Amino acid sequence: MIASGPPPNRLLRMLDAADYELVRPHLIRIELVRETVLGEAGAALRHVYFPHDGTVSITVGLAEGQTIEVAMLGRDSMVGGGAALADGIAASDAVVLFPGSASMLEITAFRTIAATSAPFRSLMIRHEQALLARAQQSLLCNTRHPVEARLARWLLCARDLSDSETLPLTQETLAQ
């Protein structure tokens, strides 16, 4: 369970006090270790994650074997919420890119709270809509801009999510 006080995740911070108190007893703090898989496309999810820090890469695999990043998520977001609100099956892969910590919530508790609280459910749906809009913007940028501009955008997003001037990257990390 997460201690009382303001939640470390900005999305959870947007909940009113009553809704946060519904969620708080079910949150488990975990460490996000680089390359840990939080969800696999086509697999049933067991948890929803609310990053405190660190970054999670949401990717989609292509039939030819390539992987494309469609979003990076951090402390202002959640991982797995859309699937939890639907059928519980992940539509994409979610892998820890930069280490950090998160609050983990079992999907059954998430669904129960969403069924109980209209404001909670509404916020989670709005988050998923914003995430879709971000992914669409990313797709557009990736088709219209040269690689240097795409890399600059990616680095700026990574910097914003990590809230640090230093990113835990190597040339090997960027090549993946």
Q: What is the pLDDT of residue 77?
A: 93
**Residues 123-158: tens digit of each pLDDT:** 999 999 988 888 788 777 777 888 887 777 777 777
Instruction: Output the CA–CA distances (angstroms, integers) from residue 119 to 4, 17, 23, 80, in the order listed.
Output: 21, 11, 13, 18
d(Cα 176, Cα 174) in Å, to the nearest integer?
5
First-to-final CA distance of the chain: 35
d(Cα 130, Cα 109) in Å, to the nearest integer?
23
Contact 107, 48 (CB under 8 A): yes
pTM over 0.75: yes
Contact 131, 82 (CB under 8 A): yes
Amino acid letter for position 25: P
According to DSSP, the residues that pair with 100 across neighbouring strands are: 32
**Residues 60-95: tens digit of each pLDDT:** 888 888 888 888 999 999 999 999 999 999 999 999
